[in-house]
Amino acid sequence: MGSVCMPINSHLLVLSAFLLLNAVPIFAADSGVPAVAAIPAAQQQVHYDPATDRLTLNVQDMSLTQLLARISGQTGVEILMDPTVERTITFSMQDQPLEAGLNKLTRGLNTVMIHDQRDVPGKGRQSMLTTVKLLPEGQTNSALLRPVVSPEAEALLRAKGRDPASKPGNERVNERRAARLEKMTPEQRAKLEKQEADKVNRKAHNQMSRAEQKANRQQRQVQNITEQLAEAQAKMDTNPVFYQQRIQVLTERLSRIQNGPATRPQQ
């Protein structure tokens, strides 16, 4: 199943397409399309709503791989891309159905969309987009296809708790992830699981190391303050007022280190 669209060269056709589709097509650097107003980095938007299965994009001068990787990460759709179609793009689209939005985003390429029948909790059995393949226009050779989100990157997202499939309400994302895992060979699945386990173990090790460093730092602080308290008490007779205040300050500091900062009463 594929969709192939011819590139748009005329400014009039570009405007017509925008009005009809509410989307700006992929623009290569040498496309001749006039530049648009710069989008601040904070306003560059890639948002997928799992409840409605709709996509909103507002990006400028972003690599196609980076954009597709963010879409893949949020939707769970496996996106495979031929590296020769990489380009820097500007694209805008508001609240479009996922499949239609991806077709608009990738027009001018040979886009192959693969669907699976999946059981979605509360929605029954549905035909669901699970894989997208992107090749140069007119080509079908898939030997160069590579995932825009590598297994290593996916494992890292899961280890850091950023996997959308793990969040409540993301049944579609979870089902797409399950479909991809089912298609993997046992060797591929074992490799992914090992990568995930390695990431989790490294995260746990780093947390333990930070906890040990904090405990050692507190121990050194306690020892230092204890020594200062002993010195102040030994000199109490020489200046009782000063050293009494000094002992009080050091005692309060020691208490904060050992017990944490005191909680202020609510007003």
pLDDT (0 to 100) of residue 190:
76
The radius of gyration of the chain from alpha carbons, rounded to an integer in Å, stands at: 29
Dump pLDDT digits (tens) for 99-126.
999 999 988 899 888 888 777 666 677 7
pLDDT (0 to 100) of residue 223:
92
Q: Which residue has the tokens 């049944």?
A: 171
- Separation between Cα atoms, residue 173 and residue 72, nearest integer Å: 10
pLDDT (0 to 100) of residue 117:
79
- Separation between Cα atoms, residue 65 and residue 76, nearest integer Å: 15
- Separation between Cα atoms, residue 249 and residue 239, nearest integer Å: 16
What single-letter amino acid sits at 95? D
Ordered mean pLDDT values, 10 residues apiece, the chain (267 residues): 42 35 35 42 78 89 89 87 89 90 90 81 76 86 82 63 55 74 72 73 86 90 92 90 91 86 53
Q: For the whole model, what pTM was predicted? A: 0.53
